[in-house]
Amino acid sequence: MTRAIYLLLGLGFTALGVVGAFLPLLPTTVFLILAAACFAKSSPRMEAWILDHKDFGPLVRAWRENGAIPRKAKVLACAGMAGGFVLFFLSVHPKPWLALLVAVALAACALFVVSRPSAPQ
pLDDT in tens, the chain (121 residues): 899 999 999 999 999 988 888 876 677 888 899 999 999 999 999 999 999 999 889 989 999 998 898 888 888 888 888 988 999 999 999 999 999 999 999 999 999 989 999 877 6
Indicate whether 44 and 81 sit together in one domain.
no
Cβ pair 26, 19 in contact under 8 A: yes
Indicate whether 82 and 52 sit together in one domain.
no
Bridge partners, residue 119, by sequence: 70
* Domain limit, last residue, from 47, 66, 85: 66
Indicate whether 61 and 80 sit together in one domain.
no
- State which residues form the domain around 77: 70-119
Q: pTM for the full model? A: 0.75
Indicate whether 111 and 85 sit together in one domain.
yes
The number of distinct structural domains making up the chain is: 2
Indicate whether 51 and 78 sit together in one domain.
no
Output DSSP code: residue 42.
T
Indicate whether 7 and 61 sit together in one domain.
yes
